[in-house]
């Protein structure tokens, strides 16, 4: 049976693609210290990133139900799954060579692949089963988390401490619950006749056509947009004025951490700048860049940070 595309779903997927590009471009600008936005640490940015991942996983569940609710189309399913798995492997490989140990071990594409496998049987079951399965997966972190799931082997579960930092991490729990929720909502919409009503929306104006085009080709856009955006910002960094990006990032991250204390933002920024001045003046900065995990150097940094926080007007000696 041939599936029918709904313009509203292509539009929703296209809007998610646009939001994703905005987030990644902001991340790139922050990574290269062109802006001081706390893209990696800020609560608002984290919520934005999570909402984008939610959108893709939720729409994956809806699409899964659309394609298989009258009967599982195995050939089409395995073909789509194979493409997603290959794309996920490519993302892991590229980010490994780009970001080293913070590469994507289990990101959004890995999660969509696993979630699709889990959610597929529920496309053929009554809606109540999809609702209960979604609730179960959402609840897993609250009662099934255990040190037994710590480490790399079980990182895909989301039930332990993986022990690594990653530029993208979207594990089974609770994210597969979003795909199951998408299956459930699709079934409910079908029972209420909402999909039939929404099929009349075409979004045929130019912005709508462009957004729907992005939605229809979301996977290649996903794979290509970040290398393109990152490459543009990297090129600008190479040809533009020289900047001490490590120092800028240090002050930015230090200030973000400091603002969780009782100090005011102005004092935090002054104290972090003061700490950086001291580290450079005493020759610690270059050593810390070369050995970021050296505990002795980190202790010296912490001591000077405490001194600067107590007296943010203190100035490090100039060599």
Summarised one tens digit per residue, pLDDT across range 133-164 is 999 999 999 999 999 999 889 999 999 988 77
Confirm if 268 and 258 have CB atoms less than 8 A apart: yes
Closest CA to 6 of 195, 149, 186: 195
In three-state form (DSSP H/G/I as H, E/B as E, the rest C), the secondary structure along the chain is: CCCCCCHHHHHHHHHHHHHHHHHHHHHHHHHCCCCCCCCCCCHHHHHHHHHHHHHHHHHHHHHHHHHHCCCCCHHHHHHHHHHHHHHHHHHHHHHHHHHHHHCCCECHHHHHHHHHHHHHHHHHCCHHHHHHHHHHHHHHHHHCCCHHHCCCCCHHHCCCCCCCCCCCECCHHHHHHHHHHHHHHHHHHHHHCHHHHHCCCCCCCHHHHHHHHHHHCHHHHHHHHHHHHHHHHHHHHHHCCCCCHHHHHHHHHHHHHHCCCCCCHHHHHHHHHHHHHHHHHCCHHHHHHHCCCCHHHHHHHHHHHHHHHHCCCCCCCCC
Model confidence at 233: pLDDT above 70: yes
Model confidence at 81: pLDDT above 60: yes
Tokens of 35: 């802006």
Which pLDDT value is given to residue 216? Answer: 95
pLDDT tens digits, one per residue of 247-291 = 887 887 788 777 666 677 788 888 888 888 888 888 888 888 777
**Per-residue pLDDT averaged across 100-124, rounded?**
94
**Per-residue pLDDT averaged across 70-99, rounded?**
94
Mean pLDDT (the chain) is 89
Per-residue confidence at 104, pLDDT binned at 50, 70, 90? Answer: very high
Q: pLDDT over 70 for what percent of the chain?
A: 94
Model confidence at 3: pLDDT above 70: no
By the 10 Å C-beta count (0-12 exposed, 13-18 middle, 19+ buried), 68 is classed as: buried
Provide the phi-psi class of 105: left if phi over 0, else alpha when psi is between -120 and 50, else beta: alpha
Q: pTM for the complete prediction?
A: 0.81
Token look-up 């999809």 returns: 130
Which pLDDT value is given to residue 261? Answer: 67
Please, what is the angle between helix 7-31 and helix 218-239, to 10°?
20
The rounded Cα 234 to chain-centroid distance in angstroms is: 20
- Most distant CA atoms of the chain, gap in Å: 76
Per-residue confidence at 210, pLDDT binned at 50, 70, 90? Answer: very high
pLDDT tens digits, one per residue of 255-266 = 877 766 667 778
Which pLDDT value is given to residue 4? Answer: 61
Which pLDDT value is given to residue 73? Answer: 95
């Amino acid at each position: 049976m041939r599936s029918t595309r709904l313009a509203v779903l292509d539009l929703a997927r296209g809007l998610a693609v646009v939001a994703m590009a905005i987030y990644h471009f902001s991340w790139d600008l922050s990574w290269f210290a062109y802006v001081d936005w706390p893209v990696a640490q800020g609560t608002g940015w984290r919520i934005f990133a999570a909402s984008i991942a939610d959108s893709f996983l939720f729409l994956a569940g809806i699409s899964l139900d659309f394609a298989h609710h009258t009967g599982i189309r195995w050939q089409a399913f395995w073909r789509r799954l194979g493409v997603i798995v290959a794309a996920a492997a490519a993302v892991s490989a590229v980010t490994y060579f780009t970001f080293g140990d913070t590469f994507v071990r289990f990101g959004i594409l890995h999660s969509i692949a696993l979630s699709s496998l889990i959610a597929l049987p529920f496309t053929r079951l009554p809606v109540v089963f999809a609702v209960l399965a979604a609730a179960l997966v959402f609840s897993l972190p609250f009662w099934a988390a255990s040190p037994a799931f710590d480490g790399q082997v079980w990182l895909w579960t989301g039930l332990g401490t993986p022990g690594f930092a990653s530029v993208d991490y979207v594990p089974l729990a609770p994210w597969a619950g979003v795909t199951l929720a998408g299956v459930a909502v699709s079934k409910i919409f079908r029972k209420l006749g909402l999909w039939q009503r929404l099929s009349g929306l075409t979004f045929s104006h130019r912005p709508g056509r462009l957004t729907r085009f992005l939605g229809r080709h979301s996977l290649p856009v996903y794979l290509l947009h970040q290398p393109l955006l990152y490459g543009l910002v990297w090129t600008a960094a190479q040809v533009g004025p020289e900047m001490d990006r490590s120092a800028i990032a240090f002050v930015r991250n230090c200030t973000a951490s400091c603002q969780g204390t009782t100090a005011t933002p102005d004092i935090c920024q002054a104290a972090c700048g003061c700490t950086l001045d001291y580290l450079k003046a005493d020759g610690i900065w270059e050593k810390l860049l070369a050995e970021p995990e050296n505990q002795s150097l980190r202790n010296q940094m912490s001591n000077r940070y405490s001194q600067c926080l107590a007296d943010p007007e203190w100035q490090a000696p100039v060599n």
